[in-house]
Amino acid sequence: MAKAMYAGLSFEQVVTKYTKTVGSVCVVRLKNWTDAEDCFQNVFCRLYTKSPEFKDEEHLKAWLIRVSINECKNYLRDNKPLLPLKDAKDTALDFPHDKCDVSWALLQLEPKYRNVLYLYYKERYKIDEIALILNKPVGTIKTLLKRGKEKLRKIYGGDEV
């Protein structure tokens, strides 16, 4: 039986190449390593079982990000947290608090800003690409990006973002 190919990559190559991207989306969305691992696994299981066709690697990456966001959204809906992150003693998400890495600051934002800013700053997507991935109008993405940047400025305590 022939192995499935995803935009010219084997399943193993896709997992290796996009582990960090899918994992980061899940952690930023869920703020919890354990829950993120569950969603991470579900995303790649869905890829393997559905075997969708992709035009190119960019289409594959966008699909993985979209499915990751949806998987996290479903997980949050189905599993209400028992203990808020701020009350948890275990700080598994102890991101460095420096000006070079915005991961720790993104965790403090609402998901609607967090997703847009993550895709913009960490994945380096353009506004129109983010709109396609999140299935929202370009104007909405611009607004979320602008408001999200303002919130990041407050978190960082300065004008640089």
Confidence band (pLDDT; 50, 70, 90) for 97? very low
Domains of the chain (ranges plus CATH)? Answer: 1-86 (1.10.1740.10), 95-161 (1.10.10.10)
Residue 43's identity, in one-letter code, is V
* 9-58 pLDDT, tens digit each: 999 999 999 999 999 999 999 888 889 999 999 999 999 999 899 999 99
Confidence band (pLDDT; 50, 70, 90) for 94? very low
pTM of the model: 0.65
What is the model's pLDDT at position 93? 43
pLDDT at 117 over 50: yes
What is the model's pLDDT at position 37? 93
| Tokens at 150, concatenated | 């303002």
